[in-house]
Amino acid sequence: MTTNSDKKRLYIGGEWLEGNDHYDLRSPYSGKVIAQVPLAEKETVLKAIECAEQGAKEMKKLTALERSNILERAAGIFKERLEECALILAKENAKPLKAARGEILRTIETYKFAAEEAKRIHGETIPMDAAKNGKGRFAYTKREPLGVIAAITPFNFPFNLAAHKLGPAFAAGNSVILKPASQTPLSALAAAGIFEEAGLPKGALNVVTGKGSVVGDILVTDPRIKMVTFTGSVEVGLGIKERAGLKKVTLELGSNSAVIIDSAADLDAVAQRCVEGSFAYSGQVCISVQRIYVQEDIYESFLQKFTEKTKQLKFGDPESEDTDLSALISINEAKRVEGWIESARNAGTEIAYGGQRTGAVLHPTIIKNAGSTQEVSCQEAFAPIVSVNSYKTWDEAIDLVNDSLYGLQAGVYTTSMPKAFDAVERLEVGGVIVNDIPSFRVDHMPYGGVKNSGTGREGIKYSVEEMTELKLAVFTL
């Protein structure tokens, strides 16, 4: 496993295959070529599907213990290669090393959860005699693997978001074709190497690199693929759902996550958490804090603390130990959000801090009281930009959070128990985080959104449900 400027291979059917065509993979921060990556063509993808069908047969033969042991071994190898994997992230998606190590630690935990979950996939007995015609029958359910699953992943957490698909798929006895984002193929190929070493049967994991529009389209439409598990943008997710036919589809899509700060025992600590939630990995996190709604009595105090703490962030080279923010995934993304800042300024909105861009690095930016129709409020930024807004009443705060096309997670800071429960009832999101930011996630909790944030849930146990079919057996006694 290297991260040098070398030619990468595809991993198909347990073999490392040369590609015909390649593209140059560049570091988002330095712009330097870090690898040449195969552009999989139609024939290659079809071969991967064939191999995955064989792989699915092999996976189905394994016992729960054998599947669990493979996942446990993979987690162990990730642990040994923590630094190597973190460096891959720093290079291919400009994730600062501190955050990159955090992602690998979570990846290890995700695979460990999957190893545990492999041992408890079970059905239930059904009380058939509860029905008039059920007397003299005995029935039970069991969960069976689906077969071949296509996993399509985004650039922002390429190790851990792949783990959220590979882990439960293997735990349940499926095979996978993994299509990583074009900007982050090295992590996917590194994961393939680790599973090969961990003893995964040939064909159980296949990695096809190349353009989403080419590779993705074949995977989404081929009838041999039984499920598409996708994490990425709304636009691509919608296209997948439209073309997938009767396949199962789970979509983990974007958001413009909000937090309400109604009252807090320690406003300093809240401000610190909001800085972490707004600017971690330069805001390129699906549950990044993008909208902060603060009760008007504590607004100025919060804004001052939040701005002071934001000023302490360091931006620069992702491979430096003290870097907090680095380049966005591309210079175009940085320019897009620079344009949003400009239009907010033109609309008379105050930029409380930041707003500058240096190449692909957008400086952490705080906007005051952005209107709900401004891009920074109503679209997904995926950049280090946050609007801090004041509100008068509790009902107004709830309405402001719900005034969004998205609904992934929301955070609520309050010292009032009734308000906390009220927020859980009324916020239109997949998860409400009380007394913390919406960016809170651990890897076994159910995770997913409503509205344009997607459909289906991840979190190993919940993914296993999505990745298995329920079978019923009825015995006439």
Active-site annotation, residues = 252, 286
Under rule CB under 6 A, residue 236 binds ligand NAP: yes
CA angle 83–85–88, rounded 5-degree value: 110
CB 302 to ligand NAP: min, Å: 26
Under rule CB under 6 A, residue 42 binds ligand NAP: no
Under rule CB under 6 A, residue 67 binds ligand NAP: no
**What mask of x and - would describe binding to ligand NAP in positions 255 to 294, judged by CB under 6 A?**
-------------------------------x--------
Residues 340-379 interacting with ligand NAP (rule: CB under 6 A): none
| C-alpha–C-alpha distance, residues 229 and 220, integer Å | 10
Three-state DSSP class for 137? strand
Under rule CB under 6 A, residue 231 binds ligand NAP: yes
Under rule CB under 6 A, residue 162 binds ligand NAP: no
Ramachandran quadrant class, 203 (left: phi over 0; alpha: psi -120 to 50; beta: rest): left
Q: How many residues bind ligand NAP (CB under 6 A)?
A: 30
Beta strand pairing call for 22-26 and 33-38: antiparallel
Under rule CB under 6 A, residue 153 binds ligand NAP: yes
The residue whose two tokens read 């930024």 is 381
Under rule CB under 6 A, residue 456 binds ligand NAP: no
Q: If we measure between CA atoms, which residue out of 39, 106, 114, 44 comes closest to residue 79?
A: 106
Which one of the spans 85-93, 153-161, 413-421, 431-439 is the region binding ligand NAP (CB under 6 A)?
A: 153-161
The residue whose two tokens read 């851990």 is 160
Under rule CB under 6 A, residue 239 binds ligand NAP: yes
CB 184 to ligand NAP: min, Å: 8
CB 439 to ligand NAP: min, Å: 11
Q: Which residues face 476 on adjacent strands?
A: 137
**From the list 48, 51, 75, 152, which residue makes contact with ligand NAP (rule: CB under 6 A)?**
152
Which one of the spans 106-114, 151-159, 190-198, 347-355 is the region binding ligand NAP (CB under 6 A)?
A: 151-159
Under rule CB under 6 A, residue 332 binds ligand NAP: no
Which one of the spans 3-11, 228-236, 352-360, 396-404 is the region binding ligand NAP (CB under 6 A)?
A: 228-236
**From the list 115, 200, 220, 264, which residue makes contact with ligand NAP (rule: CB under 6 A)?**
220
**From the list 253, 259, 370, 376, which residue makes contact with ligand NAP (rule: CB under 6 A)?**
253
| C-alpha–C-alpha distance, residues 249 and 246, integer Å | 9
Three-state DSSP class for 233? coil
Under rule CB under 6 A, residue 19 binds ligand NAP: no
Which one of the spans 77-85, 115-123, 127-135, 176-184 is the region binding ligand NAP (CB under 6 A)?
A: 176-184
Which one of the spans 7-15, 236-244, 265-273, 338-346 is the region binding ligand NAP (CB under 6 A)?
A: 236-244
Which one of the spans 103-111, 207-215, 310-318, 460-468 is the region binding ligand NAP (CB under 6 A)?
A: 207-215
> Is the Cβ of residue 276 or residue 469 nearer to ligand NAP in the bound state?
276
The pair of three-digit structure tokens given for residue 146, joined into one six-digit string: 């689906």
What backbone torsions phi and psi does residue 437 show, to the nearest 5 degrees? -80, 160
> Is the Cβ of residue 69 or residue 182 nearer to ligand NAP in the bound state?
182
Under rule CB under 6 A, residue 233 binds ligand NAP: yes
Beta strand pairing call for 385-391 and 365-368: parallel
**From the list 108, 114, 128, 181, which residue makes contact with ligand NAP (rule: CB under 6 A)?**
181
| C-alpha–C-alpha distance, residues 6 and 239, integer Å | 34
Under rule CB under 6 A, residue 109 binds ligand NAP: no
User: Could you say which DSSP state residue 215 is in?
Assistant: I
**From the list 53, 84, 109, 217, which residue makes contact with ligand NAP (rule: CB under 6 A)?**
217
Which one of the spans 113-121, 214-222, 316-324, 371-379 is the region binding ligand NAP (CB under 6 A)?
A: 214-222
Kindly give, in sequence order, each residue whose CB lies less than 8 Å from that of residue 320, ignoring residues fewer than 6 positions away: 96, 97
CB 282 to ligand NAP: min, Å: 13
- The string of DSSP codes covering 296-349 is GGGHHHHHHHHHHHHHT--BS-TTSTT-SB---S-HHHHHHHHHHHHHHHHTT-
> Is the Cβ of residue 14 or residue 232 nearer to ligand NAP in the bound state?
232
Residues, the chain, total?
477
* Under 8 Å between Cβ of 261 and 296: no
SS (H, E, C) 247-305: CEEEEECCCCCEEEECCCCCHHHHHHHHHHHHHHHHHCCCCCCCEEEEEHHHHHHHHHH
Q: If we measure between CA atoms, which residue out of 197, 201, 158 comes closest to residue 180?
A: 158
* Under 8 Å between Cβ of 107 and 163: yes
CB 430 to ligand NAP: min, Å: 9
Element (H, E) at 205: strand 205-207
Under rule CB under 6 A, residue 208 binds ligand NAP: no
By CB under 6 A, name the binding residues for ligand NAP: 152-156, 161, 179-182, 211-213, 216-217, 220, 231-233, 236, 239-240, 252-254, 286, 380, 382, 408, 454
